[in-house]
Amino acid sequence: MKKIKHLSDEMLIEAYRDGGSQKAALVLYKRYEPLVQGLIGKVSLDHEEREDLFQEIEIRIFDNLLHSYRELGCFRRWIVTISVNAINDYLRRKAREPLTATYDLVNHPSEAVSSSFSRYRERAYRQLERAVEAQSPESRRLLEMIYKERKTYSMAAEELGISKSGSHKRLRILLPKIKEHLHLNGVDEFPDDDSFIDV
């Protein structure tokens, strides 16, 4: 039998998705880590920001791989798309710039669209608040530190008395739960970039 590191991407993905193989996930991780790091390296960030961004991309990749990946094209291209989207989201959050769609609505208002957008936005935030309130106090604090106070994973982990990898693990479990709550309550996309949920 082939050693696992020599398996194709498709075989590794199948082993991870269908069999929960952590070895397969690790091989995929090592195979594509240089690509993701190269994309991050093109952006002007300090060491800790690069590390945080890499871990955010890692969470997105493995979460999407389990829940929404469709084998319709090149896996490498899919990794690049996820990474570039995460980098852009990170930079927008850092700069606190609104999404282009929000900018267009503000600068080119149509009463009907604007009113509908406002109602959707209000409902989306109400559902997000409910989803977050349903979590444990420690989980709520972790979300608050990472996404509202913009603390690094290291700072959040230190305050909670857990390891940095522990904070990532918790987020990896928390975010799908919150996304599921939002989807079940009719929130399919979030109305602005201050949100931490990329549904």
11 & 90 share domain? yes
121 & 174 share domain? yes
Last residue of a domain, one of 51, 69, 95: 95
pLDDT over 60 at 88, yes or no: yes
Q: How far is the first Cα of the chain from the last one, in angstroms, to the nearest whole number? A: 39
104 & 173 share domain? yes
Query: Is residue 36 assigned to a domain?
Result: yes
CATH number at residue 68: 1.10.1740.10
pLDDT over 50 at 1, yes or no: no
What pTM value is reported for the model?
A: 0.48
Are 36 and 21 contacting, i.e. CB atoms less than 8 angstroms apart?
no
24 & 70 share domain? yes
Map 82-138 to HEC letters.
Answer: HHHHHHHHHHHHHHCCCCHHHHHHHHCCCHHHHHHHHHHHHHHHHHHHHHHHCCCHH
Confidence of residue 33 (pLDDT cuts 50, 70, 90): very high
Query: Is residue 193 assigned to a domain?
Result: no
18 & 58 share domain? yes
19 & 38 share domain? yes
141 & 75 share domain? no
The domain total for the chain is 2
The set of residues, in sequence order, having a beta carbon less than 8 Å from that of 7 and lying 6+ positions away, is: 15, 24, 27
DSSP 8-state secondary structure symbol assigned to residue 43: S
Rounded average pLDDT over 37-60: 87
Query: Is residue 111 assigned to a domain?
Result: yes
User: What is the spatial distance between Cα 55 and Cα 89, in angstroms, rounded to a whole number?
Assistant: 14
Rounded average pLDDT over 72-82: 83
Rounded average pLDDT over 93-118: 47
Query: Is residue 28 assigned to a domain?
Result: yes
Higher-pLDDT residue of 110, 88: 88
42 & 90 share domain? yes
The vertex-161 CA angle with 57 and 93, nearest 5°, equals 35
Are 160 and 135 contacting, i.e. CB atoms less than 8 angstroms apart?
no
Query: Is residue 104 assigned to a domain?
Result: yes
110 & 161 share domain? yes
- What per-residue confidence (pLDDT) applies to 113? 40
Query: Residue 24 sits in which domain range?
Result: 4-95
Rounded average pLDDT over 144-152: 83
CATH number at residue 116: 1.10.10.10
170 & 106 share domain? yes
Are 153 and 164 contacting, i.e. CB atoms less than 8 angstroms apart?
yes
